[in-house]
Chains A and B, each alone.
Chain A
């Protein structure tokens, strides 16, 4: 008998059907990868196993765990199961822990609850578990609070809570999506080791085929509440017999077509004259440093400033597409803010189109602002939900010298919408009427409306599903070709960097440690930080190749 058996599971909230007859099973000690895009119902499937569904959810079908009928078990039986036989790890480590309780209390709590042991014994077990997940006592005593830990460390605590009682099944719902690639690789390794050691079954939910290809014995692919494809990981992802599987796999390795790549200028160009053929640099960054005041530790010691960006210099030319990659906290967003003149450097110079930005007042910055626009990560949060598209997309027009008339304004908005593949009729809609991918198109249209020379894009596709992501990347590539806009792409996702940039800069602890043509750097990184990023970055083809090798060897 399988550890988990789900048969024709249906789930609806109100009149909305979320799961439409899902079948899946997990054997003891097996890793099942559950893949799907947002709205496919993969998280709801996991929550059904724990029976932690929203109050209004109605279910039918059969779900059995270790012989227990989950859908009909009394609540007390579920309470015995949760945390003891089934552990769960969630997506967002920053909010998964109670901020007012120490990590020791939170790990020991489940042990005491289920085993009824005294505080001392529970704390000893908690200590051992925290050691096991890589939080040794010397640096992470039980008395630490969650806010004193980083995201990756907090996810380790959540894993310690989930695995403290050696559950038969661990449910991990996008456990690494909120982490950077290096942390992702570490956390996945930890999960793999724990599953092996404790002979746990693992239900690993992910939108990332590469992650699943690396981890799972079998994979089940869901879409719109139905199972599309299921089977042994290597076979499913290599043969790709199901059209949806093929579509997902292609989307996640998609590289947009770019005919005329930007030819990179010689490495040390004469700054004054510029580069022949490329013209003067659009953006010149020289020795930019940004210090932040940190907190004083005591009344008498001086505060040591924290250096977020340290001595960064580079040039960006018209039409060039540049990636800025690095782990979270490496200073890449701080650098972007200074380029956008939203923050001023402590020292150094930033010239855009020949004009120094660092010393200008807000009014003097207007002409520069017109020529640089930004696209943010979250297409949901960056629009005022009460405004219509026309007003939202036209927003940057106030930067123009002469304000366009109403008719002119509509004309420009229509043009910008057409450029990103939307229709002029969309102008009178509200943002909630668009899907995530369409909203990201809207934010690109908004960025384009002033005909900027530079677009800074901060993780512009990381919140999007893979199939939509590939479309948005195509759009970026296309605009770069047609309008010769320069891009600065800030990302920790090397697949994105490879897809649409000519050059890449690797940032580490505030410094640019490596720079070169994208292909060259990502194929053979020279810096330690670059090597770490490349090694940790999930890659579908590499994962499948590894899988074949181990199968043969």
Chain B
């Protein structure tokens, strides 16, 4: 198990290193001089040169890359050109919105999808299966921003239960913050839950056709007991894979929902930084996302190993 973990961590670090090279080179190739963008089109060449000097844009490429990477290793992501504050602070400010949002919507989608998937698999071909999978189909098809607008209309405008948008911060207590996140979380969770429910159902059905399910039934346990005791754990592998992918998406792929709800999340930060050629912010956020994907993948691998002893010994 330790060897297994060690291997995963080393692979993760290599992934990070490769990603850093790619991110850095892409940003170098991309057109647009950040200094010029900051100073505007009418800037004098002298001012431009001074700023380039200040921003360290004249240092040779390799040296700049090395500085960037070693900086990140100790938590120094550099300073934003446009916000004029350390990138790490910007990220932290946004992460306290994005991270809880991702966790809540993932929890929501898991809590809905897995029971629905199991329910549908247990009633394969019957009414319950048809209805729940039909609903899931609609869930996949509905654009989530449209669903978000619908939610705002019903719960914020009409019932006035929650705010229609914005984020009050966590300073005023947990409740106001949660209230602001609940609608976006539901909007994000819906399509995720729909996909996850379908994956759970098909994984369960596949497992329920296995020989060992028949062995368990031959022991005298009813269908339902066999489903929980023998099928569920075996069906979790594909479900975990999808969960891992979904979490990575929820961290930064939420820009549309953030815009609908005026949430200051990581997605918006990234989008604005790209528009303003604030390269250092883009690089920092992207690296952070890569790191979180790597981390989630390690967690998923550990979860695989906990579910399936064959993966434990193969590692």
The chain A residues found within 8 Å of chain B, CB to CB, are: 50, 52, 75-76, 78-84, 87-88, 90, 92, 95-101, 106, 109-110, 113-114, 145, 147-148, 158, 161-162, 295, 298-299
Q: A87-B218, A96-B215 are in contact. List 5 more A-B contacts (CB 8 A).
A: A52-B218, A83-B218, A90-B215, A96-B211, A161-B219
3 nearest A-B pairs in the assembled complex, by CB-CB distance: A83-B220, A83-B219, A110-B219
In the complex, the answer to whether A79 meets B221 with C-beta atoms within 8 Å is yes
- From known contacts A95-B210, A298-B3, A299-B3, infer whether A162 and B234 are also in contact, taking CB-CB under 8 Å: no
In the complex, the answer to whether B212 meets A148 with C-beta atoms within 8 Å is no
22 contacts between A and B (CB under 8 A): A50-B218, A82-B217, A82-B219, A82-B220, A83-B219, A87-B218, A88-B215, A88-B218, A96-B212, A98-B234, A99-B212, A99-B308, A99-B310, A100-B234, A100-B309, A109-B216, A114-B220, A145-B309, A148-B313, A161-B215, A295-B314, A299-B3
In the bound complex, how far is the Cα of B90 from the Cα of A274, in angstroms? Answer: 84
Chain A residues with CB under 8 Å of B64's CB are: none
Chain B interface, number of residues (Cβ within 8 angstroms): 24
Chain B residues with CB under 8 Å of A80's CB are: 220
How close is B180's CB to chain A, nearest CB, in angstroms? 41
How close is B297's CB to chain A, nearest CB, in angstroms? 21
How close is B222's CB to chain A, nearest CB, in angstroms? 6
Chain B residues with CB under 8 Å of A101's CB are: 230
In the bound complex, how far is the Cα of B214 from the Cα of A88, in angstroms? Answer: 10
How close is B35's CB to chain A, nearest CB, in angstroms? 50
B307 contacts chain A at the CB level, 8 A cutoff = yes
Chain A residues with CB under 8 Å of B230's CB are: 98, 101
- Minimal Cβ-Cβ distance residue in A for B232: A100
In the complex, the answer to whether B218 meets A75 with C-beta atoms within 8 Å is no
Residue from the list B3, B210, B211, B219 in contact with A113, Cβ < 8 A: B219
Residues of B290-315 at the interface with A, using a CB-CB cut-off of 8 Å, are 307-310, 313-314
In the bound complex, how far is the Cα of B234 from the Cα of A100, in angstroms? Answer: 7
In the complex, the answer to whether A158 meets B215 with C-beta atoms within 8 Å is yes
In the bound complex, how far is the Cα of B294 from the Cα of A159, in angstroms? Answer: 44
In the complex, the answer to whether B310 meets A82 with C-beta atoms within 8 Å is no
How close is B39's CB to chain A, nearest CB, in angstroms? 55
Chain B residues with CB under 8 Å of A113's CB are: 219-221
In the complex, the answer to whether B212 meets A98 with C-beta atoms within 8 Å is yes
Chain B residues with CB under 8 Å of A114's CB are: 220
Residue from the list A79, A95, A97, A298 in contact with B220, Cβ < 8 A: A79
In the complex, the answer to whether A52 meets B214 with C-beta atoms within 8 Å is yes
Chain A residues with CB under 8 Å of B211's CB are: 90, 92, 95-96
In the bound complex, how far is the Cα of B310 from the Cα of A162, in angstroms? Answer: 24
In the complex, the answer to whether B215 meets A81 with C-beta atoms within 8 Å is no
- Minimal Cβ-Cβ distance residue in A for B218: A88
Q: Identify the interface centre among B215, B229, B310, B314: most chain A CB within 10 Å of its CB.
A: B215
- From known contacts A90-B214, A147-B309, A148-B313, infer whether A99 and B220 are also in contact, taking CB-CB under 8 Å: no
In the bound complex, how far is the Cα of B310 from the Cα of A387, in angstroms? Answer: 37
Chain B residues with CB under 8 Å of A95's CB are: 210-212
How close is B193's CB to chain A, nearest CB, in angstroms? 25
Q: Identify the interface centre among A76, A81, A106: most chain B CB within 10 Å of its CB.
A: A106
In the bound complex, how far is the Cα of B216 from the Cα of A81, in angstroms? Answer: 13
Interface string of B191-235 (1 = CB under 8 A from A): 000000000000000000011101111111110000001100110
- From known contacts A80-B220, A113-B220, infer whether A99 and B309 are also in contact, taking CB-CB under 8 Å: yes
Interface string of B1-34 (1 = CB under 8 A from A): 0010010000000000000000000000000000
- Minimal Cβ-Cβ distance residue in B for A145: B309
Chain A residues with CB under 8 Å of B234's CB are: 98-100
In the bound complex, how far is the Cα of B212 from the Cα of A161, in angstroms? Answer: 12
Residue from the list B6, B218, B307 in contact with A162, Cβ < 8 A: B218
- From known contacts A97-B212, A98-B230, A100-B234, infer whether A147 and B218 are also in contact, taking CB-CB under 8 Å: no
In the complex, the answer to whether B218 meets A100 with C-beta atoms within 8 Å is no
How close is B305's CB to chain A, nearest CB, in angstroms? 11
Chain B residues with CB under 8 Å of A90's CB are: 211, 214-215
How close is A66's CB to chain B, nearest CB, in angstroms? 15
In the bound complex, how far is the Cα of B219 from the Cα of A87, in angstroms? Answer: 7
How close is A86's CB to chain B, nearest CB, in angstroms? 8
